[in-house]
């Protein structure tokens, strides 16, 4: 190993730790020792320090221990002669630097609480371009993408490219491969983020280009995000540093791109990242660390040309990505799914309450359609003026020897994602409430409606090759044709929904598993029944059955119920046997209809978490979209942090929004009649279903009896409201026995 590399990293470690010690003493002289220290709206204190050491930094006083720990990690300086060419001292110096950087960023937030903008997307017009540490809502929302593979990893870019065009080229190359791009640090006062803004590229979590901060210390937010993922989804306990680091090496496929001159401060950051198994690939000519050891392959690779840096990074990290080569003039991939088309860049739009936009997938006979045929029936977008609206009907016909009508909604649901994957096109909603916005930039590149058909044809063949043989797409843009398709589609939607809604758990002998999240929550096994949708809300029983038909070796496997051990709580021998095996012996049993007695395991991808409220003899639930306090004393982020690794926690359970009003929702504990509190936004979203289910249970006024945050956020605050309304939970048998 190069003496220069070791010198730079170790020298950088001493420099950074000393600097932060000075900043800390200045903070103590300015603020009281009990001043609160935190990364806002996160449940993991300072996450790198907490995850690796177990130390909870909550006040300025608490910083003393981790800062002393960082000082203790610093190895002896490199000698002029006979230095030891080992990774160990370099890794220790790097870790000391990373810990110091996290403290530095925490002190920045104490001194400048408004430096970072606490939201997914920056406010460029206001000059607030740095988002800082991701809050837990973002972590959980984006964590799903790492679970399902749509985000195979992330590139942490520090510094700046030689010019905005090169910066855009590198970042878009990563976007095409579906990676996140975490950006920090500046080179000679310039940053990749500012270069991208200059090049007209949208930045923010929604486009997977995350502007963490302008200094190299901001890069610690990427490591914090990775460690929080290990604790949130992988169930790794704080303080278990070996498991945290191994989890990241094996499951979080990340790497660093250093663009610009690498000084001692960058050097110590690069050395620190090696502890995680994250290599550094640089564009400058500095000494390399090529032998393998901590990282999967090389540790530091340098002097890489800009047009090769993406592919080289993926190769060095050992990352496997699938790139879809779609023959359209725009870039294509999941990285563009969150891209927004705002008014200034809007060329034309359809749906969204302005016109009708409907989507329908239907099975066809083999001789009825022609594979790859794309029909535009009506004017194309090139015939429209800027600002125009138009109706749109997307009708996809699919034929295949193995295709079934049950598969129609599964493929239909993909239209939303796939259209969104087109750069410059925004898609919201599904079925007959879709909304498509087309940007001027897409039009400048040559977008036509045919490109939507090209994407759907290609991707359906790529993703569902086992069940289909032909795909034909028709896009209607004449009002009469769209209205006709909409009427047909609504009949189909009703037929599908009524078929699922009328099913009962007793009607079937087979349930289905979903183990998609086990890559992050190894002990979690979701059991999906007709009356209990998957925790994430994405799968119902029929979807799982269809998914098993499509992929018999996939995450949705049949579970024979077997002997019923407890009909009230919902426990079956066959389910227990399957769960025990699928959880590798970690979970022996659970109940589908109870949150009090042996509830189902929960992963971090759940839409909602229900918690018992003993003082009200009821339960509450909270969705991931609600950031506030709840009557159980914990926010959603805290609840998910406790349970999200696949735990079965009596008194708590994860579930989907739809499950709240399904017939078997915590029926063993009293069902929906136990619900005494939920956030107003969730309550209003499912109002009609609450009213219907309440009436079925003999309580037609239940909706108005459920408290929300406008009533209170503690049990003491909501109890008078419940008594005034005569909530049924107050007269039911005690929840705690």
pLDDT, tens only, 283-306: 998 777 766 678 888 888 999 999
Beta bridge partners of 612: 619
More confident residue, 706 or 649: 706
Instruction: Find out whether 340 and 124 touch, Cβ atoms under 8 Å.
Output: no
What value does the mean pLDDT take over residues 12-16?
95
What value does the mean pLDDT take over residues 501-520?
85
According to the per-residue pLDDT averaged within each range, which of 74-88, 97-111, 173-187 is highest?
Answer: 97-111
When mean pLDDT is compared across 197-211, 514-528, 694-708, the lowest value belongs to: 514-528
- Looking at residue 464, its pLDDT comes to 85
What value does the mean pLDDT take over residues 392-399?
96
Query: pTM of the predicted model, to two decimals?
Result: 0.69
What value does the mean pLDDT take over residues 392-408?
90
- Looking at residue 338, its pLDDT comes to 75
Residues sharing a CB contact under 8 Å with residue 510, sequence separation 6 or more, in sequence order: 558, 559, 560, 561
Q: In CATH, what number does 334-490 get?
A: 3.30.1650.10
- Looking at residue 1, its pLDDT comes to 44
Q: In CATH, what number does 505-731 get?
A: 3.40.1470.10
Residue where the block lists tokens 């758990």? 505
Distance CA 32, CA 444 (A): 57
- Looking at residue 84, its pLDDT comes to 53
More confident residue, 723 or 494: 723
What value does the mean pLDDT take over residues 665-671?
97
Instruction: Give the start-to-end residue ranges of the domains of the chain.
Output: 3-317, 334-490, 505-731
- Looking at residue 603, its pLDDT comes to 83
Residues sharing a CB contact under 8 Å with residue 526, sequence separation 6 or more, in sequence order: 513, 514, 515, 517, 534, 535, 600, 601, 603
pLDDT grade for 520, boundaries at 50, 70 and 90: low
pLDDT grade for 538, boundaries at 50, 70 and 90: low
- Within 464-522, where are the H helices? 479-501
- Looking at residue 455, its pLDDT comes to 95
pLDDT grade for 148, boundaries at 50, 70 and 90: low
Q: Smallest Cα–Cα separation from 55: which of 39, 43, 44? A: 44
- Looking at residue 147, its pLDDT comes to 62
The answer to whether residue 107 scores a pLDDT higher than 90 is: yes
CA dihedral (451, 456, 462, 464) in degrees, to 10, reads 180
The answer to whether residue 16 scores a pLDDT higher than 60 is: yes
The answer to whether residue 192 scores a pLDDT higher than 90 is: yes
CA dihedral (316, 322, 323, 324) in degrees, to 10, reads 180
- Looking at residue 374, its pLDDT comes to 96
Express as a percent the part of the chain with pLDDT over 90.
64
DSSP-assigned letters across all residues of 299-363: SEE----GGGHHHHHHHHHT---------SSS-BSGGGTT----GGGEEEEEEBTTB-EEEEEEE
Question: Which run of H or E residues covers position 654?
Answer: strand 652-655
The answer to whether residue 722 scores a pLDDT higher than 90 is: yes
What value does the mean pLDDT take over residues 399-404?
85
When mean pLDDT is compared across 54-58, 209-213, 646-650, 718-722, the lowest value belongs to: 646-650
pLDDT grade for 334, boundaries at 50, 70 and 90: confident
Distance CA 230, CA 51 (A): 9
When mean pLDDT is compared across 167-176, 238-247, 315-324, 705-714, the lowest value belongs to: 315-324
- Within 130-263, where are the H helices? 136-148, 164-176, 192-198, 220-234, 241-251
pLDDT grade for 78, boundaries at 50, 70 and 90: low
pLDDT grade for 545, boundaries at 50, 70 and 90: confident
pLDDT grade for 375, boundaries at 50, 70 and 90: very high
Q: How many CB atoms lie within 10 A of CB 514?
A: 25
Any idea which fold 3-317 has?
Rossmann fold (3.40.50)
pLDDT grade for 82, boundaries at 50, 70 and 90: very low
Q: How many CB atoms lie within 10 A of CB 316?
A: 20
Average of per-residue pLDDT values in the chain: 90
Q: Smallest Cα–Cα separation from 555: which of 602, 495, 513? A: 513
pLDDT grade for 386, boundaries at 50, 70 and 90: very high
Distance CA 685, CA 674 (A): 19
Q: Smallest Cα–Cα separation from 558: which of 608, 512, 605, 526? A: 512
Distance CA 301, CA 592 (A): 51
pLDDT grade for 646, boundaries at 50, 70 and 90: confident
What value does the mean pLDDT take over residues 149-176?
92
Express as a percent the part of the chain with pLDDT over 70.
95
Distance CA 392, CA 355 (A): 8
What value does the mean pLDDT take over residues 703-713?
97
Tens digit of each residue's pLDDT (9 = 90 or more) over 574-594: 999 999 999 889 999 999 999
CA dihedral (456, 458, 463, 466) in degrees, to 10, reads 110
CA dihedral (524, 529, 535, 538) in degrees, to 10, reads 120
What value does the mean pLDDT take over residues 343-367?
91
When mean pLDDT is compared across 20-24, 440-444, 622-626, the lowest value belongs to: 622-626
Distance CA 304, CA 294 (A): 21
């Amino acid at each position: 190993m190069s003496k220069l590399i070791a010198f730079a990293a170790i020298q950088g470690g001493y420099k950074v730790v000393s600097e932060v010690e000075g900043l800390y003493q200045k903070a103590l002289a300015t603020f009281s020792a009990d001043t609160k220290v935190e990364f806002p709206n996160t449940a993991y204190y300072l996450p790198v320090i907490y995850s690796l050491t177990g130390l909870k930094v909550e006040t300025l006083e608490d910083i003393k221990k981790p800062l002393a720990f960082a000082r203790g990690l610093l190895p002896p300086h490199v000698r002029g002669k006979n230095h030891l060419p080992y990774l160990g001292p370099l890794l220790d110096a790097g870790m000391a630097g990373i810990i110091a950087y996290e403290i530095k960023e925490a002190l920045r937030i104490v001194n400048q609480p408004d430096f970072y903008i606490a939201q997914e997307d920056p406010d460029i017009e206001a000059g607030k371009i740095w988002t800082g540490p991701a809050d837990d809502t973002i972590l959980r929302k984006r964590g799903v993408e790492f679970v399902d593979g749509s985000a195979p990893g992330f590139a942490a870019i520090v510094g700046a490219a030689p010019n905005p065009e090169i910066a855009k080229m590198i970042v878009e190359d990563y976007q095409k491969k579906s990676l996140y791009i975490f950006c920090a640090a500046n080179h000679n006062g310039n940053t990749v983020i500012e270069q991208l803004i200059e090049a007209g590229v949208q930045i923010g979590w929604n486009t997977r280009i995350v502007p963490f901060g302008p200094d190299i210390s901001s890069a610690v937010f990427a490591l914090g995000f990775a460690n929080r993922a290990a604790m949130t989804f992988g169930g790794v306990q704080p303080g278990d540093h070996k498991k945290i680091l191994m989890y990241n090496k094996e499951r979080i496929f990340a790497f660093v791109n250093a663009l610009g001159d690498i000084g001692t401060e960058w050097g110590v950051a690069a050395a620190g990242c090696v502890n995680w198994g994250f290599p550094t690939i640089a564009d400058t000519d500095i000494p390399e660390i090529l032998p393998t050891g901590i990282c999967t392959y090389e540790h530091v690779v340098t002097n890489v040309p800009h047009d090769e840096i993406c592919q080289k990074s993926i190769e060095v990290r050992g990352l496997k990505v699938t790139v879809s080569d779609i023959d359209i003039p725009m870039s294509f991939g999941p990285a563009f799914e969150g891209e927004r088309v705002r008014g200034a860049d809007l060329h034309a739009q359809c749906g969204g309450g302005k016109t009708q936009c409907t989507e329908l997938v239907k099975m066809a006979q083999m001789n009825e359609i022609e594979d790859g045929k794309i029909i535009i029936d009506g004017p194309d977008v090139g015939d429209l003026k800027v600002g125009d609206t138009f109706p749109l009907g997307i009708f996809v016909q699919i034929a295949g020897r193995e295709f079934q009508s049950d598969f129609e909604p599964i493929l239909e649901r993909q239209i939303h994602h796939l259209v969104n994957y087109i750069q410059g096109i925004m898609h919201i909603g599904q079925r007959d409430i879709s909304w498509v916005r087309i940007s001027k930039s897409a039009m400048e590149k040559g977008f036509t409606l045919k490109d939507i058909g090209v994407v759907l044809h290609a991707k359906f063949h790529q993703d569902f090759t086992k069940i289909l043989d032909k795909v034909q797409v028709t896009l209607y843009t004449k009002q009469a044709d769209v209205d006709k398709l909409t009427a047909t589609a609504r009949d189909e939607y009703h037929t599908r929904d009524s078929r699922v809604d009328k099913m009962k758990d007793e009607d079937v002998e087979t349930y289905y598993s979903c183990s998609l999240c086990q890559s992050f929550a190894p002990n979690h096994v979701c059991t999906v029944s007709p009356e209990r949708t998957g925790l994430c809300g994405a799968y119902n029983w029929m979807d799982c059955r269809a998914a098993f038909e499509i992929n018999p070796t996939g995450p949705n496997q049949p579970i024979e119920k077997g002997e019923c051990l407890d009909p009230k709580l919902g426990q079956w021998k066959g389910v227990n046997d399957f769960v025990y095996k699928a959880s590798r012996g970690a979970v022996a049993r659970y109940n589908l209809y109870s949150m009090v007695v042996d509830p189902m395991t929960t992963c971090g991808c759940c839409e909602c978490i229900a918690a018992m409220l003993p003082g009200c003899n009821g339960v509450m639930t909270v969705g991931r979209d609600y950031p506030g306090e709840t009557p159980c004393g914990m926010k959603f982020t805290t609840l998910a942090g406790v349970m999200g690794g696949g735990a079965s926690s009596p008194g708590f359970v994860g579930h989907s929004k739809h499950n709240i009003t399904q017939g078997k929702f915590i029926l063993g504990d009293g069902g929906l009649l136990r619900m005494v509190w939920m956030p107003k936004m969730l309550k209003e979203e499912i109002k009609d279903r609450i009213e219907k289910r309440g009436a079925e249970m003999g309580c037609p006024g239940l909706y108005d009896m459920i408290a929300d945050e406008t009533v209170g956020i503690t049990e003491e605050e909501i109890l008078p409201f419940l008594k005034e309304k005569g909530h049924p939970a107050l007269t039911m048998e005690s929840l705690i026995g």
